[in-house]
Structure 1
Amino acid sequence: MNIQENFLVHFILFYIFLEIYFGVSLNLGLSFQVAQLKLKNSPATFSLLSRRCTRRLGTRMWRRGANLEGDTANFIETEQLLEFEGFRCSSLQIRGSIPLLWEQIVDLSYKPQLKIINHEETPQVVERHFTDLFQRYGETIALDLTDKHGDEGQLSAAYAAEMQKLPNVRYVSFDFHHVCGSSNFDNLQVLYDQISEEYEKQGYFLIDKDGKILEEQKGILRSNCIDCLDRTNVTQSYFAQKSLNIQLQRLGAFASNEYISMFPEDYLKFRTLWAEQGDEISLEYAGTHALKGDLVRYGKQTVAGLIKDGMSALSRYYMNNFHDGIRQDALDLVSGRYTVSKSNPSPFQLNSFESLSYLPVASALVIGGLTLTTFSVQQAGRNAQVYVSSVVWAGVAAGVMALVKANGRQFCSRPRLCRLV
């Protein structure tokens, strides 16, 4: 191992140490929330447990879509648990990136271009993914919450085309942003009405006081948006609420015309747990709290929530472009996906231009060029003789900005240990 590789591997290990002791963004895959409900003065325990699959572990922009084995990024199984008067209920939902081969490489733009990778095995990748789901969970309802225009629309259309070839899966395309906008949470009833019969037939797991199995869940609801974070959190919490109402009515805690939303204190606890769970999953994958958290907590968007979402969006931009490369390397190292070997060449050997791939250089070039341009323009206003120099500096600044934009990928922090697919 050469000096550079040895130093950077130790740097990654030190980074992991800092994450473990001072942060949460390197969490490898577990979220657990629990609350005590009253339910008209009858105590109950409500819990949420989310488990992250480690077969395609990674950060938001550096682990997208599926690999050739059909494993998808940000694949998470969420289990909602209810304990009431000795009875125990469990219902599962899953989320995961769209199981095609696709990428979205950061390049300093706010929304990098999404690229679908044309590969002869794409149909087999989709089939492998859903065959695995069928074997583990039974029949699957696949909810696609992506937009139906732009890059997302192209990806959604490619996904829909592949899904038409599969048995035992119902694919449902639902344009969340178009139907629900930024605040119409209740419009998810439109989606629920489309699949309510099949969803309720999937059922839930139920055992009585003596441990006897009374019900078993027969299928699974799989949700995705682009990141499988924000729109997915809102949608999963909505379906979880429907499932909880059915269970509480079955156990006699509620009458047939009563719902958890009619009991403000318990409803707040339910929504808070789902919102906090969404934040934890988002921290693990994107490095920030989830967006649209207000829709889960309060059922509507608030001014404070809009400000928080704006700050989180900016934080995601920073994390994606200037931080997640090294975080991806750390995840690949601790998860065993990459093994250090003396016989292999160092993955950290960089060419001269790639060594500029960090925030300070890009910032210095752009800010320095703008500063010189501003100074020159001010001088030109006082003395016409320096007008030519102002034009020169403006040209230099524009050239620097064009250079940074054209080579945006080179100025971003990128993983070095493992390939994207």
Structure 2
Amino acid sequence: MENGSFSGGFRLYEELELHEFQDKFVIRSKESPSDGFSIGRREGKIEPLSNDTYSTSPYKTSTIYGVVGTIRLLAGTYVLVITSRNEVGNFLGFPVYRVNSMRFLYCNEALKLSTSQEKRDEVYFMTLLRIVESTPGLYFSYRTDITLNLQRRYKLMDGWMTKSIWKQADPRFVWNKNLMEEFIECKLDMFIILLLQGNILNNVFFQTASLELKGSPGTISLISRRCTRRLGTRMWRRGANLEGDTANFIETEQILEIDGFMSSLLQTRGSIPLLWEQIVDLSYKPQLKIINNEETSKVVERHFHDLSQRYGGTLALDLTDKHGDEGQLGTAYALEVENLPNVRYVHFDFHHICGNSNFENLEALYGEISEDFEKQGYFLIDAEGSILEEQKGIIRSNCIDCLDRTNVTQSFLAQKSLNLQLQRIMILAPNDFFSTSENYGKFRTLWAGQGDELSLEYTGTYALKGDLVR
């Protein structure tokens, strides 16, 4: 399949020059120097380049790799730019970069005219901006939108993919959505980079005798997209809001490319969509508390209605403990979900059944959900771009943090789907399994790396079960 089918030919400027003057910043494309804009340092006003932009020489010139957007505080505007990046993989054949460092350009000269209290407030907010500068796990591409999954992208492709990249995007997964507004108003489409918080990993596997891959190399990619609607860190951000958005909601897509075929499996994870919290104290495992609210049923309904609209029928897979605080939360969840249309709730006490690293016991779970899972299917296209299969539903997994138990289970289901996909395109014989090949170790490493990345974003630490997944 041609890359152009996915890019629409739209490409952002990849390297920019940042010129710093006493009264303004000027940002312009290196490949097209006449295309750029200036930002006043007093009020943060954005203007196109003009003949008098360079009436004096800049006192400093540097290279930047993208403009993330602007934030307006009490007395100034702050422009966030990417100062370093590294290429980490690809998405549908296009390079993907990870943000290594960012910097705020301060356009706050008006702060000098502010009151003492305004200055103190501004300084406080500026300290929060430094946290933004160090946000982990941000990815972007100059050539294509990485927020859309393959199935949705493919079905929107006619005309849609010729739009500016920011117009193509799934807004749930655009980390800098609110920061881009001024650049959108100024029609600076060639400069508007979309940042995805999550994880993108690629791995290549080759023919082995047991796999009978016909000499064709194949690539597995994992793309995890973290929703921006209820961001926050573990303990401090739990459950759902009144709109039905949940903490740590992540769409994970596994893409297989081999022999001209391309297939995709989507799974989601997210905090239990009730109104609940965890009281942070000095204990190792702070107490969970369900918040009694007359809107609870509506919250759950809104959450699953959104999922069904986007993905189809949903299997809600709850991996929490059966007893204690987790058990009470799971019971409340089950009661709310049982009467919803197009949703099946399944509880699987992961710690009890798979304790002491007995992950082979996940086969018991698969026996319970295999009919639904295989009916949901996966997305598959051939070398000509014809749709052979479509994914008709989604498994939504959760534990408490939606990290360790969830990642182990999702990797298990992804491997099951990979078997079905390879058998469907006759790369594997009906009785062959990807899990018996020497490439399975690379697959596990890929999923373990994703688990570490997502855990760092939500908790600040690596995944506890990462070594076991490996």
- Give the CA RMSD over aligned residues: 1.8
Aligned 1:400-411 pairs, distance under 5 A: none
- After superposition, give the CA deviation of every residue in 1:92-140 in whole Å (9 maximum; x if it has no partner): 0000000000000311221111110000000000000000101110000
How many aligned residue pairs are there? 293
C-alpha contact (below 8 Å) 1:147/1:153 kept by paired residues:
yes
Aligned 1:156-305 pairs, distance under 5 A: 156-264=330-438, 266-297=439-470
- Segments of 5+ residues of structure 1 without an aligned counterpart are 298-421
- The residue type paired with residue 457 of structure 2 is E
CA displacement at 1:182 relative to structure 2: 3.1
Query: Are residue 8 (structure 1) and residue 181 (structure 2) matched?
Result: no
CA displacement at 1:39 relative to structure 2: 3.4
C-alpha contact (below 8 Å) 1:28/1:284 kept by paired residues:
no
Q: CA 1:220/1:20 → structure 2, altered by over 3 Å: closer, same or farther?
A: closer
CA displacement at 1:6 relative to structure 2: 2.0
> Larger strand proportion, structure 1 or 2?
2
Give the Cα separation in 2 of the matches to 1:115 and 1:11. 32
SS at match of 1:45: strand
- The residue type paired with residue 197 of structure 2 is G
Give the Cα separation in 1 of the matches to 2:430 and 2:222. 24
Give the Cα separation in 2 of the matches to 1:28 and 1:61. 23
Give the Cα separation in 2 of the matches to 1:17 and 1:186. 42
- 1:31 corresponding residue in structure 2: 199
Give the Cα separation in 2 of the matches to 1:156 and 1:165. 15
Query: Are residue 102 (structure 1) and residue 262 (structure 2) matched?
Result: no
Give the Cα separation in 2 of the matches to 1:11 and 1:169. 44
- After superposition, give the CA deviation of every residue in 1:290-324 in whole Å (9 maximum; x if it has no partner): 11112211xxxxxxxxxxxxxxxxxxxxxxxxxxx
Give the Cα separation in 1 of the matches to 2:426 and 2:207. 11
Give the Cα separation in 2 of the matches to 1:213 and 1:35. 24
CA displacement at 1:4 relative to structure 2: 3.9
- The residue type paired with residue 127 of structure 1 is E
TM-score by length of 1: 0.67
C-alpha contact (below 8 Å) 2:314/2:394 kept by paired residues:
yes
Give the Cα separation in 1 of the matches to 2:136 and 2:414. 31
Give the Cα separation in 2 of the matches to 1:100 and 1:80. 28
- After superposition, give the CA deviation of every residue in 1:230-282 in whole Å (9 maximum; x if it has no partner): 00000000000000011011111111111112112x11110000000111111
CA displacement at 1:18 relative to structure 2: 4.4
SS at match of 2:388: strand
- Segments of 5+ residues of structure 2 without an aligned counterpart are 1-73, 75-116, 138-175, 177-194, 209-214
C-alpha contact (below 8 Å) 2:136/2:457 kept by paired residues:
no
CA displacement at 1:201 relative to structure 2: 0.6
C-alpha contact (below 8 Å) 1:55/1:71 kept by paired residues:
yes
TM-score by length of 2: 0.60
SS at match of 1:67: coil
Q: Report which stretch shifted further, 34-43 or 131-140.
A: 34-43
C-alpha contact (below 8 Å) 1:80/1:91 kept by paired residues:
yes
SS at match of 1:7: helix
Aligned 1:38-49 pairs, distance under 5 A: 38-40=206-208, 41-49=215-223
- 2:260 corresponding residue in structure 1: 86
C-alpha contact (below 8 Å) 2:239/2:276 kept by paired residues:
yes
- 1:307 corresponding residue in structure 2: none
Among candidates 43, 46, 52, match of residue 226 of structure 2: 52
Give the Cα separation in 2 of the matches to 1:156 and 1:20. 31
Give the Cα separation in 2 of the matches to 1:12 and 1:105. 24
- The residue type paired with residue 464 of structure 2 is L
- The residue type paired with residue 12 of structure 1 is L
Aligned 1:306-385 pairs, distance under 5 A: none
Give the Cα separation in 2 of the matches to 1:155 and 1:285. 21
Give the Cα separation in 2 of the matches to 1:39 and 1:71. 43
- 1:63 corresponding residue in structure 2: 237
Query: Are residue 150 (structure 1) and residue 324 (structure 2) matched?
Result: yes
- After superposition, give the CA deviation of every residue in 1:36-71 in whole Å (9 maximum; x if it has no partner): 111334210110001011011111111100000000
- 1:367 corresponding residue in structure 2: none
Give the Cα separation in 2 of the matches to 1:251 and 1:82. 12
Q: CA 1:171/1:39 → structure 2, altered by over 3 Å: closer, same or farther?
A: farther
C-alpha contact (below 8 Å) 2:196/2:225 kept by paired residues:
no
Q: Percent identity?
A: 68
Give the Cα separation in 2 of the matches to 1:103 and 1:28. 27
Give the Cα separation in 2 of the matches to 1:11 and 1:141. 43
Instruction: Specify which structure has the bigger relative contact order, considering alpha-carbon pairs within 8 angstroms and separated by 6 or more residues.
Output: 1
- 1:366 corresponding residue in structure 2: none
- The residue type paired with residue 398 of structure 2 is N
CA displacement at 1:168 relative to structure 2: 0.7
Q: CA 1:223/1:157 → structure 2, altered by over 3 Å: closer, same or farther?
A: same
SS at match of 1:29: strand
Q: CA 1:20/1:203 → structure 2, altered by over 3 Å: closer, same or farther?
A: closer
